[in-house]
Structures are given as C-alpha cells and as structure tokens.
C-alpha cells in the first residue's frame, strides 16, 4: 500500500483563492474568508493571454504583475501555502 492510498475515494474540501487583481495577502477579503472556513487553501493566479492582447495592456503593466507575483509567492509560502499558477486561454 502506498502512503497516500488511504486518500483514494475520499472527498477533501479545499478553498481556492483566485488572485486576479488584488495580488496581496494583507486585507484580502477572499483569503480571509477562506482562512475562516478552516479548509486547506490553494492560492491561485491564472495567466490569461487574451487579457494581455488588449490595447490597454502594456509591458510595464506585465512587469508590475510579475514583480507583484514574486512578492505574493513569498507571502503565500510564509503562510504555508504555495502559490499555484495556471495558464488559461479561450482558444
């Protein structure tokens, strides 16, 4: 028996906190609500290429997001929750 075989067939509740515009853990309403629920938390940022094709998106904006994500990753790690990143496309 593998060490995690006992989890097969079990339902585990997880709170997913999708970081979209508010890329901080301090005073983050959804994160606070998830922590209050008491379930394990999966912090998540989704890269949306279609968003970056918009005329209002700029390289400077992406650099700001990049730097903010580095800080968010460190903050989430400090809280014991690794930041997950996913890539989403409508195509």
Q: What domains appear along the chain, each with residue ranges and CATH number? A: 12-87 (3.40.50.620)
Distance from C-alpha of 67 to C-alpha of 82, rounded to nearest angstrom: 17
- 8 Å CB contact between 43 and 31: yes
Position 51 pLDDT exceeds 50: yes
> What's the mean pLDDT in 18-37?
93
Contacts of 47 (CB under 8 A, 6+ apart): 85, 86, 87, 88
33: phi then psi, degrees, rounded to nearest 5: -65, -40
Determine the 3-state secondary structure of 31 from DSSP.
helix
DSSP state of 55: T
> What pLDDT does 1 receive?
40
More confident residue, 40 or 10: 40
Which pLDDT band holds residue 3 (cuts at 50, 70, 90)? Answer: low
Q: pLDDT tens digits for 29-49?
A: 999 999 999 999 999 999 888
């Amino acid at each position: 028996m593998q060490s995690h075989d006992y989890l097969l067939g079990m339902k585990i509740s997880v709170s997913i906190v999708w970081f979209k515009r508010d890329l901080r853990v301090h005073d983050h309403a959804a994160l606070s609500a998830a922590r209050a629920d008491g379930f394990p938390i999966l912090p998540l940022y989704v890269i949306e290429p279609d968003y970056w094709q918009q005329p209002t998106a700029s390289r400077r904006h992406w650099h700001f997001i990049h730097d903010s994500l580095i800080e968010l990753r460190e903050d989430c790690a400090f809280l014991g929750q690794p930041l997950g990143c996913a890539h989403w496309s409508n195509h």
